[in-house]
Structure formats: C-alpha cells, structure tokens
Amino acid sequence: MLDIRLIREQPDFVKEGLSKCGVAPDKVDEVLRCDEERRAIETEVSELRAKRNAGSKEIGKLADNEAREAFKTEMRLIGDKISELDLRRNELEEIQSDLMLAIPNIPDPEMPIGADDRDNPVVRVEGEPRKFDFTPKPHWEIGTDLGILDIERGVKISGSRFYVLKGLGAALQRALISWFLDVHIQTQGYTEIYPPFVVKEECLFGTAQLPKFRDNQYHDVEDDLWLVPTAEVPVTNLHREEILDPGSLPIKYVAYTPCFRREKMSAGRDVRGIKRGHQFDKVEMVKMVKPEDSREELISLLDDAEEICRQLKIPYRVVEVCTGDKGFANVRQFDLELFAPGQGENPGDGEWLEVSSCSNFTDYQARRANIRFRREQGAKPEFVHTLNGSGLALPRVMIAVLENYQNADGSVTIPEVLRSYMGGKEVITKA
C-alpha cells in the first residue's frame, strides 16, 4: 500500500509515477476525494465524542435526579449522531481501503519504461550456450525416455498441468532443493525457514496477491485457508504486525515450499512439458532491511540468485523488467533466465526460461502487513523494506539441467555440484 500522506501531499508525483505502469490518474483523485470526506467526518465524530465523554462524567457526579435524566437525554442524542456519522465513516474507510489496495507500487526512477515484456532490456548474458553435435531434445522427451518423468500419469491422477517425477528424476529435484538451500544458508548468510504451505487470507493481502490476483489462488472454502502461491507469502508474513527490535535488521530468510497456482490467466500457454504447472517447487529468499539499504540489497539478492546459475554452469541472462511488465507491489525487478537448448519454435533453437524474479518492494508490503522496526530503543517505529527473489524455481531448472546436460545416447550428466547430493552418481541413464 502507498502512504496516504504521499498521495495527499504530492498527488502529481504519484499520478506521474503510476501512469508509467498504466494506472489512470483518476484512481488517485478518487482516493483523495474519499480521504477528504473521511477526515472531515473523523474530526466531527472526534469532537462529538469529546463532548459526550465530558457529559457522561458529569452525570456520574450529579445528585439531582431530574437534571440527571435531562442530561442523559441530551447525551443520548449526541450518541445517535455519532452512530450515524460512524456508519458513513466506516463506509468511506472501506471504500478508501479497497481503492488503496488496488493501487500498485510506484516504479523506481531507474526502472526502464515500457509497455510489456518485449520492452524488458537484457542487462547481461553470462556463459556460452553449449555447441551440440546432435539436435538437442526437449526435456519431455529426455525425461520420458529415461523413465524419470511421467506426464501422462500426472494428468491421470490430477489433471492437466500436473506431472510425476520418478526415480532419479525425483532425486535430481530433491538434490537441487537441498543444494540451493545449502548455498544460501552456508555461504550467503540466510536462515532457513520451513513454513506452513497454507495461510490465512490476511497474509495474501499483506504481500499483495490479494485482492487483485484472487483468480490465481487455490482456496479451501471449508477452513478458509489458501495454498501458498510462493514462499514469499508465509515468510514475509512471519513478522506481520510486529515491531522489530533495534539491531534485528537485516533479516535474511530462505525457504523451500511447493507453490500452487491456478494459472487461469495462462490458459493454453506453455502447456507442453513441465514449464508451467499448477504445483511447482521453489526455493525463495526473503529480506527485510532498513529503508536506506533496500536498493543495494536488491543487487546483492540478485547476485545471490545468480550464484546458483554460475555454479550450475548453465548459460543465463539477467533481464530488467520494465514499468509495463513489473509486479504489482515492487519498484524494481530483475529476472534471471536460464538457457534451455531443447525449447523454442524449432528443434535446437533454444529459449530463455525465467527461473527467478528478484524484487524490491520498499515499504509497500510492510505497510500492508504492518511490519516495522525501531532504529534504537524508544525510537519511533518505521516500516521495513521487503525484498524477495527465487533461488530458484525448480521445474525450469530441471528443464535447463536435462536439456543442457543431455548426451547423444539419451543419458543426462549430473552437474558436478549435485553429485554429492545424489549418492555420488554422475550420469542418469535409462533404468
């Protein structure tokens, strides 16, 4: 959520910033109108209450019964007026809150301006795509032939966009998860979190998946719980409604969770293979930092994610996301894309697969989730800045590993960093 004071005091700045990501300026005017009326009523109610509080105190002291009754009647009338104004105030409060929740964060001045993902500049490309002396196959062929990926049975038991990993396929994914976590924990200073995979609704409002992306969430009606679409949700909300003690920042968490998404918006897209499923695994880094540090922390977060790509020895590129394509709550965003030689229009074209998205949310999520900190004992609470980034998303890393490390005979070499996680095995061959 944006700061209402910023909207009040610098409406033109807010409008201009939001226009870069396609938000009409009258959204801001609506908020201002609502805010003004609400404050006027607030003042009136506040004065009436003061009057009643004083009056009620007098009644307690009055001895004369008649005067007492008359006074009571007077106070009752004030009370009625208060209830009436309260109704309108609550109404306005709700309208304003709904409006505020639907306004995205204002892009950082450094965020490139653009209309959609075609305008996202490539910041840099790392590593050379491997030269194949055969036509590289897509992962669904490699995986199916090796007997480690079973798409048909996934669909049989759970429907489209589900698949089953088997044998060394399942082991490879588990190895990746463990190794990702260990890199972040042991060499980058993150603390591991194992959170619940279902959360209460308010958590999704906190990180801003709700209200806008309701259609993409799995919701259990019976207990009113939501399946997490990313570990960002439970982990960021760990400190909701808290004031963190001096010295506790920066906080760096890393968590593995499955992620559940309905993908209604992507119907018909990426239906082949395991690129886009309703359930996928991901390791996610979440940081909470002091406001003045968040710009730099984004760069180091990106580097922490890149470290995985480097060690995997798979070519990747860094893309900066433009204003028209940015996430709802962030001010700046970098995506990491691994090269997958078996993807693309024609066999052997290759394609860049998004495996990470690193974002700075400034105080936007912190304000929604009410996460604050004190600089010193007794200092005024301030909102933290939150950041998060995948490190990394599993299915697409699986695709990249299978396709980059495939051999002419259909086997797949296991990347060196993963071998100790797979019992020393070096190659996946047909079982």
Under rule CB under 7 A, residue 303 binds RNA = no
Under rule CB under 7 A, residue 276 binds RNA = no
Taking CB under 7 A as the criterion, the residue among 19, 22, 29, 39 binding RNA is: 39
Under rule CB under 7 A, residue 64 binds RNA = no
Sequence-separated (6 or more) residues with CB below 8 Å from residue 250: 287, 288, 289, 290, 293, 297
Catalytic residue list contains 354: yes
Neighbours of 190 (CB within 10 A): 22
Under rule CB under 7 A, residue 43 binds RNA = yes
Under rule CB under 7 A, residue 53 binds RNA = yes
Under rule CB under 7 A, residue 291 binds RNA = no
Under rule CB under 7 A, residue 97 binds RNA = no
Taking CB under 7 A as the criterion, the residue among 31, 45, 369, 422 binding RNA is: 45
- 132 in Cβ contact with 348 (< 8 Å): yes
Taking the C-alpha atoms of residue 399 and residue 340, their distance in angstroms, rounded to an integer, is: 7
Give the residue with the Cβ less far from RNA, 50 or 408. Answer: 50
Catalytic residue list contains 276: yes
Candidates 70-78, 135-143, 306-314, 423-431: pick the segment binding RNA (CB under 7 A). Answer: 70-78
Residues 183-242 binding RNA (CB under 7 A) are none
Under rule CB under 7 A, residue 16 binds RNA = no
Under rule CB under 7 A, residue 79 binds RNA = yes
Tell me how many residues contact RNA (CB under 7 A): 28
Taking CB under 7 A as the criterion, the residue among 27, 33, 37, 56 binding RNA is: 56
Catalytic residue list contains 357: yes
288: nearest Cα among 347, 372, 229, 204: 372
Cα distance from N-terminal residue to C-terminal residue, the chain: 53
Neighbours of 367 (CB within 10 A): 19
Q: How far is the CB of 135 from RNA (least distance, A)?
A: 47
Taking the C-alpha atoms of residue 4 and residue 39, their distance in angstroms, rounded to an integer, is: 12
Catalytic residue list contains 396: yes
Q: How far is the CB of 68 from RNA (least distance, A)?
A: 8
Q: How far is the CB of 227 from RNA (least distance, A)?
A: 17
Q: How far is the CB of 52 from RNA (least distance, A)?
A: 5
Q: Which residues are catalytic?
A: 261, 276, 354, 357, 396
The binding site for RNA (CB under 7 A) comprises: 4, 39, 42-43, 45-47, 49-50, 52-57, 59-60, 72, 75-76, 79, 90, 243, 372, 377-378, 380-381
